[in-house]
Every structure is written in C-alpha cells, then in structure tokens.
C-alpha cells in the first residue's frame, strides 16, 4: 500500500451462512448430527460480497450506492474490521469512526449525557477527551435541556442527532456514514453535510452510504455501485450517478424535492 492509500481491498469476498438454515438450538444441532449426511445441507452459503478490488486515497470521499441487499453495509463492516473477509485481503490505515446509527450502543434508560460517554467510548475515546469535547457535542446536537432526559423519550431524529454529534468529534482518519442523514430534519441535515465537507477539506477520508444519489453525487469524488455483492460500476461520481439515473429511471422525486 502506497503512502497516499488508506484503504485497499484485494479480491475481497464475504460469506454469510444463511440464518434460517443453520441449527440454532442444541436440539436441532443434535438432530442434524444424527441425520449425518443431511448436516451439510442445512448450512447454505451466501456470498454477500465477492471479488471486490478497491483503493481509497487519503482525503477521498467515496460514495457507495446500490439497492437493498447489494452489500453496502457488508462492505463497510469488512473495511472497519467488524467482520473478517472469507477470502482476499483488507488493508486499512488510520482509525475509523462509524457514525453510530439510530440507537446503536445507546442505552435507552440512560440520559443523553450518559449516552455521550458510552457512545464516545465505543469509538475509543478516553475519559479526558470526552470531557473536553462534551460542550461541542452538546452544541452541535442542539438537544438543550433534553440532554438530561433518558433517551427512550427522544424521537428518532434526536437520537440520530446525538449519534452524529459524537461521531464527528472523534477526529477520525476515516469517517463512515451509513444512511444516518435520512432521519434528521432538513436543517440538521444541511448542518451535517456542511460538517462532512469540512472534514473532507481537512483530508479525512469519507465513506458515504446513502440511497439519496443526489447527496452522494454532490459530496463524493467517486462512486462505487454495488449489485448483488459485486462491483457494478466504479468511477467519477457524476458519471456513475448519471448512469444510475439512466438505468433506474431518472432522479427520484423525493431527491428533487429535497433541494
């Protein structure tokens, strides 16, 4: 991997074992043991990603698009090291901050403030760092006095705002944004997009997953279009977005209205 590259995937494949087909309880496990030959058949394999070659340079913003089940989230997981690849090689340089999506890692019974500690420490921050950044997190989240209420009383948008505010304070080398902007209101979304652009200018590498192709095209340098676990198109953002619109029937109505 050269100096400028921060992410490199070499022929990466991820294999899932289909959930419904595998023995889940001891009883089923022993039954499948006694059936002998049938045992193999109960574990059906499914390649969520296959043959992925990808290089991301430092400071690049890469958009990842594709329909549901195309492998977008799996790609993010394998890059962030949450799951190991079944084949191929993943190289990543620098620390990764995933924007915690709705409620991930948050405890509903704890207050917003307590959840800041929890969420920030999931991202690897120390106690001192968290304390130093709390004023900024509070300011960005715009939660005001709600910060002392348990987050089970929050709306989805408020939780997403809290998650985003924490993640952008981590100073990551690589920022992963997975569909979180879909839940906030327009004003907060603009604020987030602005913050993301600032990150980009500072040389932070960004992986941006969204179904809103207009947003992706505006923010990203390149787009990776996944289809059924394989790279369908990869290239300059505007070109791939246009190609996408051509194939799927123009920019979606909702996409236009959001402007």
Partner 1 sequence: MLTETTKEIKDILGYRELLRNLVVRDIKVRYKRSILGFLWVMLNPLLMMVVFYLVFSSLFQRTVHNYIAYVITGITVWHLYAQSTSRATRAFFESANILKKKALPRSIFPLSMVVSAVVNFLFSLVPMYIILIVSGASPLKGALQYLPICILLILTFTYGVSLLLSTVTVFFHDTIYIYEVLLLALMYLSAIFYPVQILPEGSMVVVNLNPLYHYINLFRACVYDSTLNPEVHLFYSSVYAFASILVGWTVYFTNRQRIVFYL
Q: What is the DSSP letter of 232?
A: E
**Closest CB 1 distance from partner 1, rounded Å:** 18
Taking the least distance from each CB to partner 1, the nearer of 76 and 241 is 76
Helix or strand or coil: residue 94?
coil
Taking the least distance from each CB to partner 1, the nearer of 109 and 258 is 109
**Closest CB 201 distance from partner 1, rounded Å:** 26
- The CA-CA-CA angle for residues 63, 99, 198, to 5°, reads 65
Taking the least distance from each CB to partner 1, the nearer of 94 and 235 is 94
Question: What's CA 48's distance to the chain center, in Å?
Answer: 16
Task: Report the C-alpha gap between 48 and 143 in whole angstroms.
Answer: 38
Cα-Cα-Cα-Cα dihedral sign, residues 33, 35, 36, 39? negative
Task: Report the C-alpha gap between 204 and 184 in whole angstroms.
Answer: 23
48: how many CB neighbours lie within 10 A of its CB?
A: 21
Taking the least distance from each CB to partner 1, the nearer of 97 and 222 is 97
Taking the least distance from each CB to partner 1, the nearer of 4 and 24 is 24
Q: Beta partners for 10?
A: 89
Taking the least distance from each CB to partner 1, the nearer of 38 and 126 is 126
- Per CB under 8 A, residues contacting partner 1 are 16-17, 24-27, 29, 77, 80-84, 96, 98, 100-101, 103-105, 107, 109-110, 114, 117-118, 121-127, 130
E strands, 180-251, are 205-209, 222-227, 230-236
Helix or strand or coil: residue 241?
helix
**Closest CB 161 distance from partner 1, rounded Å:** 17
**Closest CB 110 distance from partner 1, rounded Å:** 6
**Closest CB 21 distance from partner 1, rounded Å:** 13
Q: Hey, what are 50's tokens?
A: 């296959």
First to last CA, the chain: 39
**Closest CB 107 distance from partner 1, rounded Å:** 5
- Nearest partner of 104 among 171, 167, 146, 148, judged by Cα: 167
Task: Report the C-alpha gap between 178 and 187 in whole angstroms.
Answer: 19
Taking the least distance from each CB to partner 1, the nearer of 9 and 100 is 100
């Amino acid at each position: 991997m050269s100096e400028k590259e921060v992410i490199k995937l070499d022929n990466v494949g991820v294999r899932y074992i289909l959930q419904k087909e595998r023995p889940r309880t001891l009883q089923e496990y022993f039954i499948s043991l006694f059936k002998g030959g049938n045992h193999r058949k109960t574990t059906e394999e499914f390649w969520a990603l296959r043959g992925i070659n990808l290089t991301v340079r430092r400071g690049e913003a890469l958009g990842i698009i594709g329909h549901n089940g195309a492998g977008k989230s799996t790609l993010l997981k394998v890059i962030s090291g949450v799951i190991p690849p079944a084949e191929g090689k993943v190289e990543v340089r620098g620390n990764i901050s995933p924007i915690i999506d709705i409620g991930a890692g948050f405890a509903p019974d704890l207050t917003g403030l307590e959840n800041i500690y929890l969420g920030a420490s999931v991202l690897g921050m120390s106690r001192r760092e968290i304390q130093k950044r709390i004023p900024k997190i509070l300011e960005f989240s715009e939660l005001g006095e709600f910060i002392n209420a348990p987050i089970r009383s929050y709306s989805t948008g408020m939780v997403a705002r809290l998650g985003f505010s924490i993640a952008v304070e981590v100073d990551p080398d690589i920022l992963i944004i997975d569909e979180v902007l879909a839940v906030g209101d327009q004003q907060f979304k603009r604020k987030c997009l602005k913050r993301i652009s600032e990150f980009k200018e500072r040389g932070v590498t960004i992986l941006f997953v969204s179904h809103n192709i207009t947003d992706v095209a505006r923010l990203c340098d390149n787009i990776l279009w996944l289809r059924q676990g394989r790279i369908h198109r990869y290239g300059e953002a505007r070109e791939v977005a246009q190609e996408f619109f051509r194939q799927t029937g123009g920019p979606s109505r909702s996409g236009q209205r959001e402007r």
